[in-house]
Amino acid sequence: MKNRPLKTIIVGGGHRSLTYAQLANIEKDKMEIVGVADPDETRRNAIAKQFNIPAERCFRTSDEIAAIPKFADAVINGTMDHIHVSTTVPLLKAGYDVLLEKPFSVNEAEARELVAAAEKYGRKVMVCFVLRYAPFYRKIKDIIMSGEIGKIIGISTNEYVSYHHMSTSHVRGKWNNSDRCHSSMLLAKCCHDLDIMMWLMSETKPAAVSSFGCNMQFTKENAPENSGTRCLVDCPLSEECLYSAKRLYIDHPDRWSFYVWDALEHLENPTIEDKIELLKTSPYGVCAYKSDNNVVDHQTVSVLFESGATGTHNMIGGTSYGTRTIHITGTKGVIEGDFEKGVFTVSKIDPRPGCEHEDTVYDVKINNDSHGGGDLDLVRDFVAYVRGETPSVSCTDISDSLLGHLVVFLADKSMENGGQPEKVIV
């Protein structure tokens, strides 16, 4: 295996799976896509064509793959959140290692079930927490490990979800209703952030979690006066409403296209007219204030660590632009940065005469990658891990990824119980 590409199967041919699978096109010595499973025939055929997959290696479900003799080394599982465990366990039993999209489960019981299954069958599972591989967070991790800012006292992370991202994914789209997607807003959007917090704080463990949050913005009570139920059908405000589907998706037809226009995948070059017609019936054309979303638009999580350190994470949706920020206070200094800008500052205590602090600015901006340059480095590390090579410090092995999930589950439980603290039991 070390001297040949990792033979890999795509299960769930969505945007994220195909992003990870691009390593097979870029570095052919590392990965080869040899199979695909997706219930959508159009998508399945398109992936087969892209990677020259023979018809006998095209399947509808992961169960069909698990039922036949093993023909690859690994699987990229990019199915929807709530079927990650049910699709992965049979593949582990069949002998496959798995690169699994986050979150790897939607509740604590399933999370523990999958960790146990990986151990039982002796398989390697890596979770797609790609932010660990972004140069921004990798460099921060290196500085913490060096002891440069001393022992961490407090860590604060923030995720600001832009208005168009919020609308597309969590007001109108796949993750707008937990009864359907089985994921809370915190799990779907911020499991990245809480994984980063646990990873950066790996010298200690979380002891207790509390949380508050609600949906303040996207309610019927906040709908503009005289608004309709569908932006391009019965609403006179399509040229002025902040969340008009016309302004978000027709005026910006390439933004979030892999979600908004997925029903047009069978058309080679859909026109604007095709897209307008689709919005008249698709979820993305529903009034943002009158959709059936039931997830929060903002939430704050507080964590107490065994060391005595504290952590907070704030998620706020509907902001003018999206970014993540971080502020870490240590006994010798501070790290403060903006992920979207790719810049952070290390400010160390400097008691010399005439000084207060000594600052060093790091610029690790990565363009044209929504995860700050982490996507393909994650896949490279997965290949190395499966081959038996030493993985990087970022390695998202499922056992190491459990803590972040537990914090999310307990935070949501706390929020539902009015902020009551919940103990973390590892």
CATH number at residue 183: 3.30.360.10
Q: 170 and 138 in one domain?
A: yes
Say yes or no: 89 and 40 in one domain: yes
Q: Is residue 1 part of a domain?
A: no
Q: Number of C-alpha atoms within 13 angstroms, CB side, residue 366?
A: 17
Residue 423 bridge partners (DSSP): 208
Domain harbouring 61, CATH code = 3.40.50.720
Whether 377 is covered by a domain: the verdict is yes
* String of DSSP letters for 204-217: S-EEEEEEEEE--S
**Closest CA relative to residue 62, chosen from 11, 124, 8:** 11
Show Cβ contacts of residue 423 under 8 Å, excluding neighbours closer than 6 positions: 207, 208, 410
Report which of 382, 383, 390, 391 is spatially closest to residue 4, judged by C-alpha positions.
Answer: 383
> Which of 268, 51, 274, 284 lies closest to 167 in space, CA to CA?
284
Which of these three, 127, 155, 188, is where a domain ends? 127
Facing residues of 74 across strands? 8, 97
274 and 312 housed in the same domain = no
312 and 300 within one domain: yes
165 and 276 housed in the same domain: no
- In DSSP terms, 154 is beta-bridged to 310, 329
Q: What are phi and psi of 198, to 5 degrees?
A: -65, -40
> Which is it for strands 31-37 and 58-59: parallel, antiparallel or unpaired?
parallel
Dihedral in degrees, nearest 10, Cα atoms 197, 198, 204, 205 = 120
Residue 103 belongs to some domain of the structure? yes
Its domain, for residue 337, covers: 132-218+293-423
State how far Cα 124 lies from the chain centre: 20
Rounded Cα distance between 75 and 73, Å, is: 7
Residues 339, 254, single domain; the answer is: no
Mean pLDDT by 10 residues, the chain (426 residues): 89 93 95 97 95 97 97 97 96 98 96 97 97 95 98 98 97 94 94 97 97 97 96 96 96 92 90 95 97 96 98 98 97 97 95 88 78 84 95 94 97 97 94
Cα separation, 228 vs 211, whole angstroms: 35
Q: Is residue 12 part of a domain?
A: yes
Q: Would 409 be classed as within a structural domain?
A: yes
Domain-ending residue, one of 127, 146, 161: 127
Does the residue 197 lie in any domain? yes
Of the candidates 86, 114, 137, the one whose C-alpha atom is nearest the C-alpha of residue 402 is 114
How many domains, in total, are found in the chain? 3
Whether 162 and 280 share a structural domain: no
pLDDT on residue 1? 63
* Boundary (domain end) residue, out of 65, 99, 127: 127
**Shared domain check, 310 and 383:** yes
**C-alpha to C-alpha distance for 233 and 286, rounded to whole angstroms:** 9
Residues 341 and 418 in one domain: yes
Task: Please measure the distance between the N-terminal and C-terminal CA atoms of the chain and give it in whole angstroms.
Answer: 35
Same domain, 147 and 192: yes
Whether 99 is covered by a domain: the verdict is yes
Q: Please list the helix, strand and coil fractions of the chain in percent, rounded to the nearest 5, in that order.
A: 40, 25, 40
Whether 241 and 304 share a structural domain: no
pLDDT of residue 114: 97
Helices (H) and strands (E) in the chain, counts: 15, 15
Clarify whether residues 103 and 242 are in a common domain. no
Q: What is the pLDDT of residue 368?
A: 61
